Amino acid sequence: MEIAQVVHTNFTTLQIQGELDALSAVGADEVFTRLIQQKQFNLHLDFSGLEYISSAGIGVILSHQDEVYQNKGKIVFSGLSPKVLNVFQLLGLHQLFKIVSSESEVECCFLES
């Protein structure tokens, strides 16, 4: 798994490549923790390169969503493969997070707030 970080004016994009499983979840957790410490609460997760996500990977996102929402932040997902989207829907996470299909919509999501 690889994570690339792109900082925009009012949000930060994390491009996650490869598989987010129990092993790589540790690295991802460090990235999230650091961003939240830096008060970056508007997060865009670009999953277009994500092949697989395990429950531990979901756990990493879930463990930080509390703090994001408490600080009036937002987590927006884009580029979910059908498989990953299926996992999100199964767990009911699509109700909780904004999931958009194209990159262009991402910016709008953060403008609303």
Partner 1 sequence: MVDFLYRYKYYLLAGLGSWLLFVTQQLSIAYRMQANPEMVLLHEGFGDMILFMFFFTNIILVRRVVHDGKDRNPEHMLRIVLFTGLIGVLAVFFSRWYLSPYRNTEQEMITLPVLHAITLLALHVFVFTGIYTFKKFIFYTGTRVRPALWTTFEFFLGAGLLIVFENPFYFIPEWIKVGLLVVSLGLIAYFSVFTRWVAYLTLRQKLNSIFLLGMTVVVLFFLMYEEGVFTYDLSSLIHEYFFYRYFLMGVAALFIASYSLFSILVLIFNLPTGFVFEKTRKDLVSIQKIQQSILPGLAQEGAARTLLEAAMLSSNSSAGWIEMEGENEPLICHGIREMDIPTLKQEVNLRKLVLKKREVWQNQDLRRNHLLKFKRSNYRSLIVLPIQTRFTNIGALFLVQNIPFGFSDDNIFVLKSFADQAALALENIALNVKSLELERYQEQLAIARQMQQKLYPARFPDSPYIRVFARNQQAESVGGDYYDILKTGEGIYKIIIGDVSGKGTKAAFFMAQVKGMFQSLARTTADPVRFITLINQAISSCMDKGSFITLTYIQLDLNIGKAWIARAGHCPTLFYSGQEKKSVWLIEGGLALGVIREDGFREYIKTQEISVHTGDRLVLFTDGIVEARDEKGEEFDYDRLLNAVQNGIHLSPEDLSQSIIQEVQDFSGGVIEDDYTLMVLDITGNPETPKSV
Residue position matching structure tokens 């650091």: 34
The residues of the shown chain that bind partner 1, judged by CB under 8 A, are 55-56, 58-60, 62-66, 89-96
Q: Which is nearer to partner 1, 26 or 108 (CB)?
A: 26
**Closest CB 93 distance from partner 1, rounded Å:** 7
**Closest CB 25 distance from partner 1, rounded Å:** 9
Whether the Cβ atoms of residue 85 and residue 50 lie closer than 8 Å to each other: no
**Closest CB 101 distance from partner 1, rounded Å:** 19
Q: Which is nearer to partner 1, 61 or 106 (CB)?
A: 61
**Residue 49 neighbours by CB under 8 Å, 6+ apart:** 15, 16, 17, 18, 79
Q: Which is nearer to partner 1, 58 or 100 (CB)?
A: 58
**Closest CB 92 distance from partner 1, rounded Å:** 3
**Residue 40 neighbours by CB under 8 Å, 6+ apart:** 12
Helix (H) or strand (E) holding 67: helix 55-70
Which whole-number Å values give the CA distances from 43 to 5, 12, 72, 76, 78, in the listed order?
10, 5, 12, 6, 11
Q: Which is nearer to partner 1, 16 or 60 (CB)?
A: 60
